[in-house]
Structure 1
Amino acid sequence: MSLYQRLLLIINPVLRHSPAVSHAASLAKACGASLHITALIPSFKWLSLLEEGDRILARERYLQDHRDWLESQAESVRGRGIEVTTQVAWAEDLKQDIIDHVTDMQPDLLIKEIDHASRLKRAFFTPLDWHLLRHCSAPVYLMGNTGLNLPGRVVAAVEVSDVESAGDELNEQIIKQACNLAMQCNAELHLLYACDISADFLADMDGLTLADLTKALRRDLEKSFLRLADQFGVPADRRHFIDGHPVKVLCEFADEHNVDVIVMGRVQSKGLNKLLGSTTEHILYQAPCCVLAV
């Protein structure tokens, strides 16, 4: 049985040519899951300029137009044998409204298109998708440049350590989610670790040079990575231990190998990292694919 039995798709109904509904429906079909589509509409400030009666009528007409459109989309999806329900509502606080929907519905997966926030905006405000990565209780599937088809290649991006037990639980969750998604979609599963050994964390010790320490640490990390790959039976040609910064490595790998989904872990950011964003958060704006954060 798939991990995903109840899927929640959040959409912006203004973007009617988006592939979000079709892509989510394909995932639901592959997993044998039900799909609930919620269209959240930010309130229009100009409505407050209207008289109360006109304002109520305008709001209702606008909602009804989107309800009719979404229901037509749902009927098309139901024709594929998928259980679909819909909802259209105003959003006074989009970040909190999405979290509330997840809390109420308890889906196995939240699906949403990536909002590409500029660097300037990210410097002053926490982007919506970053907020969801930090506070959503369900795994978050954020759609990037994707078509209507199911994923064909899934990458589990793990974080290994030279200490055997460090990060094991999160790695297991990442690989479990990636395996499940790949299995349901009949996709290839790859395991990847970006080895970024920074000189900031190394120093001469007991007569060893920095180069010696770097090689030793890299060797220990690679052993941990191979041990993890062996544990989950990942074939040798689908194991990727690559030197470099994680964001750069993952983006280049995704581009070169036509990756459809990167599965990553979510770590609660603190201090400066909360302002700058985590690796997973920055991947959203650079990787040419979807991101599943667990």
Structure 2
Amino acid sequence: MIEYKRILAVVDAERDNQPALSRAYELASKTGATVTAMMVVYDLSYDMTTMLSPDEREAMRDAVTKEQGKWLCEQLKKQGFADTDIVVEWNNRAFESIIYYTLNNQIDLVVKATKNHDDLASVIFTPTDWHLMRKCPRPVLFVKEHDWPEGGEIIAAVNVGSEDDEHAALNDKLTIIANDYAALLKGNVNLVNSYPSTPLNIAIEVPEFDPDTYHDAVKNHHQSEMRRHAQKYGISEERCIVQEGLPEKVIPHVAKTIDAELVIIGTVGRVGISAALIGNTAEHVIDELNCDVLAIKPDGFVPPLKVQN
């Protein structure tokens, strides 16, 4: 079962309500975890204060931090979270403060609200969200403003077609977590896997290539591996979905079709040129989703930020 002892809820000063706190407390009530509310603040005018002395600059930081801390205390009281521990830190790179705090304080889960785009009714991820997704060593739950009803649908996005050991280990981890959340929330686990379409260039360049035979072989392989994986974790075949296409199209389509409450997906932290040129499949998937997302790192992931002494 899920063993959360410490949950960090990231507070957004630009929001009237705090869905991250609500979701964190919902999980805490079911797991016995404690919740810490964290706000990272920065005043852009601080960049224009180079003429001030170091003491004056520090005084400005302290004043802004204390003011925001007071605001946060008032907001927590209004929303019934008066007993919550709070942390207010000054940093123009919010993700760094969040990750450092997570590493230094044995946080088990980070919860952060995403932004909704009013016109498209879709989720807009901020730069902080992307950094956390790539670099945070602990699970990060990105939440929206909605309830988690009993009997809701949970998706574990797996890649059963790969023979790579790391993919297999991540598939196991995602499915175990999905089962744990299903038990916690009295929900249903659905396994979703996509497989690639037949490459057209091969069909054109190789006359003897049979695209139908190739397609059926790939499809059968993924379906067979999905059955094997699902049986290992007691998930019925009716809740195993294998579809042709790119994961960034298949997973959001399935999530919308079954009205999923939560999608659990594995992420790999890419940085530098590879992040810019290659991107991350998980990020493309998440950008299309309109529900809560739990981003999970593979075992052995080493964060680019180290514990501070």
Deviation, structure 1 residue 39 = 0.7
Contact 2:148–2:185 (CA under 8 A) maintained in structure 1: no
Q: Note if contact 1:162-1:220 (Cα within 8 Å) is conserved in structure 2.
A: no
Specify the alignment match of 1:288 in structure 2. 290
Q: 1:27-49: per-residue Cα shift (whole Å, max 9, x none)?
A: 22122211111111123325745
Equivalences for 1:81-230 in 2 at 5 Å? 84-114=84-114, 127-143=127-143, 145-149=144-148, 152-161=152-161, 163=163, 167-199=167-199, 207-230=208-231
TM-score normalised over the length of structure 2: 0.78
- Larger CA deviation: 66-75 vs 99-108: 66-75
Query: Aligned equivalents of 1:73 and 1:283: distance in 2?
Result: 33
Partner Cα distance (1:58, 1:112) in 2: 27
Cα RMSD for the two superposed structures:
3.2
Aligned length: 282
Q: Which amino acid aligns with 2:197?
A: I
Amino acid at match of 1:287: L
Identical amino acids, percent of aligned pairs:
24
Residues 18 and 78 (structure 1), Cα distance of their counterparts in 2 relative to 1, 3 Å cut? closer
Distance 1:92 1:164 in 2: 39
- Structure 1 position 63 matched with structure 2 position 65: yes
Post-superposition offset of 1:156 = 0.5
Name the stretch that deviates more: 207-216 or 29-38: 207-216
- Structure 1 distance, partners of 2:201, 2:269, is 21
Summarize deviations over 1:55-77 as a string: whole Å, max 9, x none. 66665454334323322444555
- Change in Cα spacing, 1:69 to 1:29, as seen in structure 2 (3 Å) is farther
| 1:146–1:290 CA contact under 8 A, matched in 2 | no
Segments of 5+ residues of structure 2 without an aligned counterpart are 118-125, 297-309
| Cα distance per residue 1:220-262 (max 9 Å; x no partner) | 1110011111111112322211222211111122222211111
Structure 1 unmatched ranges of 5 or more: 118-125
Q: What letter matches 1:4 in structure 2?
A: Y
| Matched letter for residue 280 of structure 1 | A
TM-score, normalised via structure 1 length: 0.82
What is the letter of the counterpart of residue 284 of structure 1? I
Determine helix, strand or coil for the equivalent of 1:167: helix
Q: 1:201 to 1:287 in 2, by over 3 A?
A: farther
CA offsets per residue over residues 86-145 of structure 1, 9 Å max, x none?
A: 11121132232222111112211111123689xxxxxxxx933222222111111122x3
For the structure 1 residues 270 and 6, does the alpha-carbon distance in structure 2 shift closer, same or farther, using more than 3 Å as the test? closer
CA–CA separation in structure 1 for the residues paired with 2:44 and 2:12: 14
Q: d(CA) in 1 for partners of 2:106 and 2:159? A: 28
